[in-house]
Structure 1
Amino acid sequence: MTKAATLHQLDRLDQELSALFSELECYDDTRLNHRPSDGGWTVLQVLHHLILAETASLGYVRKKLSFNPILDKAGAKAAWRLFVVDFYFRMPTKFKAPKGVDRSALPDESDFESTRKQWETQRKALRHYLSHLPEERFDRELYKHPFAGKMTLRQMLKFFGMHIKRHQKQINRVLKEAAV
């Protein structure tokens, strides 16, 4: 796991985010704030959840590195943890969001443009931070997923991609319902 490979993963993630924004920009804020009949999250609440998850992840990494810890080199266990996350995300089962990224942390209503800008700002901060880390940090178990455990920074970014894909299904379902 190298810095270059991690930044390449971030490039792919940014492309996926750009595609999501392109898909959503044709909808008005009323539709994006539509509360589904099952009482679930609106599309914009889903986006805020994803932003908060990424923000909290970066915050964890920053805090972890602030005291210069000794970090284990990543290996098969970290790869297994990411596999487990991927496996669970592919299941149709709903999961309770961790505190801080759950419904209580989400705005009741928001607008697409400010949400997009917030996420783009978060991604720029993430890119800046990762770009300035020394190479030797990238093969270490530095990120801690709330359920699966320790992973590398590249695996953290892969989790972000999986997380967006999982919620994409929810976004599509809410948009479809809002059209009726």
Structure 2
Amino acid sequence: MHPSFQKKYTQLEKHRQTYTAQVRALSPDQQQKPPGEGQWSAAQLYYHLWKVENTVLQAIEANLASGRTHKPVSFNTRYRSFLLNLALALPFKFKVPKMIGDMPPNVSVAEVEEKWQATSQQWQQFLEKFPEHLQQKEIFKHPRAGLLTMNQTLQFLLEHAAHHKLQMQKLVTA
């Protein structure tokens, strides 16, 4: 695995483990209870974090399997990635992209934990085999930021996980 991928994958794995420990520490009722109308419960937030990582991986795999030509990284790619990560660093709510799908009303934490563990292993295997000639190519189309490289995509996933950190902490301490 490329060293920059390894570092980011390790950080993603730490986020996953932290979120898992936080949700598991709650009672089943606490896991499912949203803090207010139209807000997510801890279990739903946990589901969302897994769903994003899983959907991104599936999209990249489909893109690579399509045989399309991938453009090299450009200034615009770097700029869009910067703006995306900046937006995620701010304390704003964003509408979930349609590609993520609807939020189920009740979420099995044990099921999500199992799925997220599997997705994490799939990410590791994928990154270990990721072709070196594609490292500076645009391979993931973010619904708002457009095309990103693999490194930028991993950074987006890290920023996304960090974006929800305070939200989960509030749910855990409520």
The answer, yes or no, to whether TM exceeds 0.5 is yes
| Shift in Å, 1:82 | 1.8
Distance (Å, rounded) in 2 between the aligned partners of 1:66 and 1:53: 20
Distance (Å, rounded) in 1 between the aligned partners of 2:169 and 2:105: 19
Distance (Å, rounded) in 1 between the aligned partners of 2:104 and 2:87: 27
Please give the root-mean-square deviation of Cα atoms over the aligned residues, in Å. 1.8
Aligned match for 2:129, one of 124, 129, 132: 132
Mark the CA change 1:135 to 1:15 in structure 2 (over 3 Å): closer, same or farther.
same
Structure 2 residues not aligned, in runs of 5+: none
Aligned match for 1:110, one of 107, 110, 117: 107
Kindly indicate whether residue 79 of structure 2 is the aligned counterpart of residue 80 of structure 1.
yes
Between the two proteins, what is the percent identity of the paired residues?
A: 21
Structure 1 residues not aligned, in runs of 5+: none
Mark the CA change 1:156 to 1:26 in structure 2 (over 3 Å): closer, same or farther.
same
Any residues of structure 2 matched to 1:1-180 within 5 Å, and which? Answer: 3-102=2-101, 104=102, 106-177=103-174
Distance (Å, rounded) in 1 between the aligned partners of 2:73 and 2:123: 21
- Tell me the TM-score normalised to structure 2 length: 0.89
Letter in 1 for 2:110: E
| Shift in Å, 1:78 | 2.2
| Shift in Å, 1:172 | 2.0
Q: 1:45-68 CA distances to partner (integer Å, 9 max, x unpaired)? A: 111112111121111111111122
My pick for the range that moved more, 107-116 or 64-73, is 107-116
Letter in 2 for 1:170: Q
Letter in 1 for 2:7: H
- Tell me the TM-score normalised to structure 1 length: 0.87
SS across alignment from 2:164: helix
SS across alignment from 2:84: helix
SS across alignment from 1:40: coil
Instruction: Name the count of aligned residue pairs.
Output: 174
| Shift in Å, 1:93 | 2.5
Distance (Å, rounded) in 2 between the aligned partners of 1:8 and 1:170: 25
